[in-house]
Amino acid sequence: MLILSKQDIFQVHFASLIADYDYDTILNLYMPIIGYKACIIYFKLISLAKRNNYKVFVFDDLISDMQMSVGDFASEKEKLEGIGLISTFIKKENNINNYLFNLYAPKVPSKFFNDVLLNGLLIESLGERKSQELKNIYLLNNDLDDKYQNISAKFGEIFKPDYNAKYMQNIINDNSNILGHGSNKFNLDFDYDIFLKFISENSQISKTIFNKKNLKEIQRLSSLYGINEETSAKYVIQCFDPLKENGHKIDFEKLNYLYQHNIKLPSFENEDNTNTNSSVSLNSSQTPLGQKINLMETQAPKDFLQLLQNNIAPVQADLDLIETLSKNLNLKPCVINAILDYTLQVNNNILSRRYVEKIASSLAREKITTAYDAITYLTKRNKRKAKTSTINSEKQLENLDDNKDENLNGDINKNDAFEQLIAQFGDDD
């Protein structure tokens, strides 16, 4: 997340036409996903663009008008970017950041509900019943059409354009970029166009061998291990077997090994493997905690764990554990980093697989997606466990004193009770 300043300036530009009915689409379909604050920012930017396209505004005025902090504006703006309603560009002029916001129309309802990601997010936000109710609002009713005969005139019956005219040829060859109603593409962490372009230019592999499932897996592995699109393409080329049947031509077991060990291929020794396209949520605080959160958000789990281990490379068992958290629980790399850090702190630098999976399952159920939220959740969890353990230990010691005479000749003596108490504190599972 960029650190915005009140002194920064910005301009707003319509990248597509935005009609009155788009406002209903935003309120009905987009607001349940991104929230009302992001919608208000979107409507405010539209208002500014209508006043004067490309006019320069100052952030301080915008923040004051909206009664919103700079941090809130920045985080809500990211939601608009992620869902494709705006694109943000920046250039520096005289030590001042000049931002350009391009505004896009929302997808029309038919495309919205046919979009797996958007429709899925709506169901996740509202539940299936309410989502279906919204969908029913936009359903076409063709029952009346079936009862009537269509007698509308055809285009060719009324209009006789001269297709051989020079102006017709000029129109055909005109590539002008005219403002339309098209919506923006999602800004994904992994740019498939860069990946596929590199594949085409550096191998004989056809794009047709890739389907949504294996592209999604390649994206997941790239994000997990901090590998950029071009290096991912090089790894895939190494793992391609043309003799295997369609759907199985990529050896994902070998590919996963290359990702885990970040192996540099012989002809690419100077390759920088950092994934520069990752969308991160950086903390502006310079405190140790703020710096640690920034590391969690920007480092791949393999590299972050190596930092925690005094630059000692993770063993294969730990890499397999990281892979499990990503693939089976669908956790983001920054959340995995928070889990690794927390576990090593509370578990005497022991990365217990059983314990890590237990914590990870809790975070997955809570749908936590940022390092900050993960740390907050785990800190509260630790405090609850500490309070519960203190209460239990006090009760055990009280019972121990009450029963010490009875236990003199029994099977359980005071030392046994203390050993059980210590075992309880030591086993965090």
Task: Report the C-alpha gap between 250 and 407 in whole angstroms.
Answer: 66
Tell me 86's DSSP state.
Answer: E
Structure tokens at 56: 């320069």
Say if 156 falls within a structural domain: no
Say if 157 falls within a structural domain: no
Structure tokens at 122: 């709506």
Cβ atoms of 405 and 399 closer than 8 Å:
no
Q: Residue 217: which residues within 8 A CB-CB, separation 6 or more?
A: 252
Residues 196-222: pLDDT tens digits? 888 888 887 888 888 888 888 888 888
Higher pLDDT, 260 or 375: 375
| Res. 142: pLDDT tops 70 | no
Cβ atoms of 117 and 107 closer than 8 Å:
no
Last residue within a domain, chosen from 160, 187, 214: 187
Task: Report the C-alpha gap between 279 and 276 in whole angstroms.
Answer: 9
Cβ atoms of 233 and 199 closer than 8 Å:
yes
* H helical segments located in 99-181: 109-114, 116-126, 128-137, 143-147, 155-158, 166-173
| Res. 129: pLDDT tops 60 | yes
Residues 11-39: pLDDT tens digits? 999 988 898 889 999 999 999 999 999 99
Say if 279 falls within a structural domain: no
Task: Report the C-alpha gap between 370 and 280 in whole angstroms.
Answer: 9
Task: Report the C-alpha gap between 163 and 18 in whole angstroms.
Answer: 32
- Candidates 159, 193, 133, 1; CA nearest to 80 is 1
- Candidates 33, 97, 39; CA nearest to 66 is 39
Total Cβ atoms within 10 A of residue 79: 19
Per the structure, the count of domains in the chain is: 4
Tell me what pLDDT residue 265 has.
53
Residues 96-121: pLDDT tens digits? 889 999 999 999 998 898 887 788 88
DSSP 313-331: PPPHHHHHHHHHHHHHH--
Residues 357-416: pLDDT tens digits? 999 998 998 888 888 788 888 887 777 666 555 555 555 545 555 554 444 444 444 444
Total Cβ atoms within 10 A of residue 87: 17
Structure tokens at 286: 């310079």
Say if 203 falls within a structural domain: yes
Task: Report the C-alpha gap between 139 and 318 in whole angstroms.
Answer: 50
Tell me what pLDDT residue 380 has.
79
Domain that holds residue 296: 288-376
- Residues 314, 398, single domain; the answer is no
Last residue within a domain, chosen from 354, 376, 398: 376
Query: Residue 393: enclosing H or E segment and its boundaries?
Result: helix 371-402
Provide the β-strand partners of residue 87: 102
Say if 198 falls within a structural domain: yes
Query: Residue 11: enclosing H or E segment and its boundaries?
Result: strand 9-14
Maximal C-alpha separation, the chain: 113
* Average pLDDT of the residues in 139-166: 72
Task: Report the C-alpha gap between 285 and 288 in whole angstroms.
Answer: 8
Higher pLDDT, 308 or 399: 308
Provide the β-strand partners of residue 99: 10, 90
Structure tokens at 157: 């019956």
- Residues 52, 104, single domain; the answer is yes
| Res. 285: pLDDT tops 70 | no
**Polymer length of the chain:** 429
- Residues 388, 372, single domain; the answer is no
Pairing of the two strands 9-14 and 96-103: parallel
Residues 267-282: pLDDT tens digits? 443 344 444 333 444 5
Last residue within a domain, chosen from 152, 187, 222: 187
- Residues 31, 91, single domain; the answer is yes
| Res. 427: pLDDT tops 60 | no
Cβ atoms of 325 and 337 closer than 8 Å:
no
| Res. 56: pLDDT tops 50 | yes
Say if 171 falls within a structural domain: no
Q: Is the torsion defined by CA of 186, 187, 192, 197 positive or negative?
A: positive
- Residues 34, 135, single domain; the answer is yes
Residues 247-258: pLDDT tens digits? 788 888 888 877
Residue type, 262: N
- Residues 419, 313, single domain; the answer is no
| Res. 88: pLDDT tops 50 | yes
- Residues 340, 238, single domain; the answer is no
- Residues 42, 128, single domain; the answer is yes
- Residues 372, 394, single domain; the answer is no
Tell me what pLDDT residue 418 has.
38
Tell me what pLDDT residue 31 has.
96
- Residues 31, 119, single domain; the answer is yes
Residue type, 410: G
Structure tokens at 332: 């983001």
Say if 159 falls within a structural domain: no
- Residues 15, 79, single domain; the answer is yes
Counting residues of the chain whose pLDDT is more than 90, the rounded percentage is 16
Q: Is the torsion defined by CA of 110, 113, 118, 122 positive or negative?
A: positive
Tell me what pLDDT residue 53 has.
63
Say if 367 falls within a structural domain: yes
- Residues 257, 127, single domain; the answer is no
Give residue 4's pLDDT band: very low, low, confident or very high (50, 70, 90): confident
